Amino acid sequence: MEPVDPHTLSARLKDRARSIGFEVAGVACPDASEHGGFYRAWLAEGRHGAMGYLADDSAVSRREDLSLTLESVRSVLVVGHEYHQVDPEGVPEDPSLGVVARYARGRDYHRVVKRKLRQLHRWLEEETGRSVDARAYVDTGPILERELAARAGIGWFGKNTMLIHPRRGSYFFLAVLLLDLPLTPDAPFEEDRCGTCRRCLDACPTGALLGRDEDGAPVMEARRCISYLTIENRGPIPRELRPLMGNRVYGCDICQEVCPFNVRFAEEAAEPGYAARGPGERPVGVEAAGPAGAGGRGPEESGSEASGPAGPGSESVGTGGALAKGGASAETSRHNERVREGGRMSDGRRDPHPGTDGPSLVELLRMALSEAGWEAFSRGSAIRRAGRAGFARNVCVAMGNWLAGEPEPPAEPVEVLVEALSDPEPLVRGHAAWALGRAATDEARFQLSAFASTEEHAWVRKELVLAAGE
């Protein structure tokens, strides 16, 4: 086979990437990072919070030098996959409804994007007629994806720290394919188009965005970011930040929602797997859980692949279904074989979970207090990253913020929060106590005092006592 020249191969590879669903694609040189110094200074200031994996010496070095990950690397393909979803009616304005970040409303993106990267790898080997040494990363390895994306001409670093495309905004996942092939790189994107705009800085409710440093790099205090607090943070949410989080129960899109480039250009994602789920629905492409036999596996585990740190549990990743063939499926049609009203199925039974499309906080907490409910809700979803206790913690905080604004708090949320005071996890009990204190009803105070008299965990007991006095 005749060798393909780097310029032609680069153009055809980007065309191929777009043809299989990536909305943006570019090629970058694998030169040493120019942001290594800033990154190390950011770590030294402790702004990464409890995300210790970001500060691992080996990982830091690999972020600065791609050859430590793939010794033979000669070029980098950077792609973007859009995930924007339109908020349902009442979200985020209705404080009784939970807001899930758009990227996590459907299927775990690691699964979706990784498979497409593997398709590109196979195509390259067929196109070049040789084995291609490659490494694929979807937000899971020590890679500075946004720097590489800027080098590949895709966009610039916004003041919200996101990579912004000038005609598409920032609602897309970035992924990279390190390659041992020589490809012609794209011209880097060097212009800062944020200008004097500071909408994201002013909109962040917790003050996590600190603007640009003296070198122009955007700075985030991760320990104040709602996404960090609701996902990566494994412990209690600081009391002073809880009232600022509103009804965001997993992640946060506020700094993207106000960005003029998203307001003007963002479109709903074409990928069906990213669609929000209704009550009881599984993410598109994830099979129903099978019976767990002795030593056996349910059907969702067959052909499962490992995902990165934010990956879910076992799920189907086979390629023989309707999705792989580009056709519609029962999943894509949003499971419309059942009629639901008020979170119940047509036979009157309660759905196993309330979904991700503006779900009721009450139903979310009921679900999160049940291992079976959490399993049904989080399987095949990036939401599993938070863990059951962490997610229940988040919902408790959102419920506390809702109840604090109610002159006469409804009985139902108070009842489920009282139930949460008996959860086996201290993390859940402590935040449920805080939420009940925000309700400030006679019933809430009575329950808080009663549980405080028997609670053995010191931190939870402190939360109970503080809440009872509020």
Active-site amino acid positions: 139
* Strands 134-137 and 172-179, bridge-based pairing: antiparallel
Q: Which amino acid is at 304?
A: S
Point out which residues pair with 99 in neighbouring strands. Answer: 248
With residue 24 as reference, give the H or E element that holds it: strand 24-28
Q: What angle do CA 291, 296, 298 make, to 5 degrees?
A: 40
Task: Say if residue 457 is exposed, middle or buried (CB neighbours under 10 Å; 0-12, 13-18, 19+).
Answer: middle
What's the token pair of residue 431?
Answer: 């935040």
Residue with tokens 């059942």: 338
Instruction: Name the percent of the chain in helix, strand, coil, to the closest 5.
Output: 40, 10, 50
For residues 20 and 22, give the distance between their C-alpha atoms in angstroms, rounded to a whole number: 6
Residue with tokens 């106000």: 258
Q: Are 459 and 426 in contact (CB under 8 A)?
A: yes
Q: Which of 268, 105, 80, 308 is nearest to 173 (CA)?
A: 80
Task: Say if residue 250 is exposed, middle or buried (CB neighbours under 10 Å; 0-12, 13-18, 19+).
Answer: buried
Q: Which of 451, 449, 360 is nearest to 402 (CA)?
A: 360
Q: Residue 450, Cβ neighbours under 10 Å: how many?
A: 14
Residue ranges in 140-299 assigned as alpha helix (H) = 145-151, 199-203, 226-227, 254-257, 260-265
What's the token pair of residue 304?
Answer: 């499962």
* Distances, alpha carbon 385 to alpha carbons 247, 380, 432, in Å: 19, 11, 21
For residues 183 and 6, give the distance between their C-alpha atoms in angstroms, rounded to a whole number: 4
Residue ranges in 57-164 assigned as alpha helix (H) = 57-64, 109-128, 145-151
CA 64, 66, 67, 68 dihedral sign is: positive
Beta carbons within 8 Å of 462's beta carbon, 6+ residues apart: none
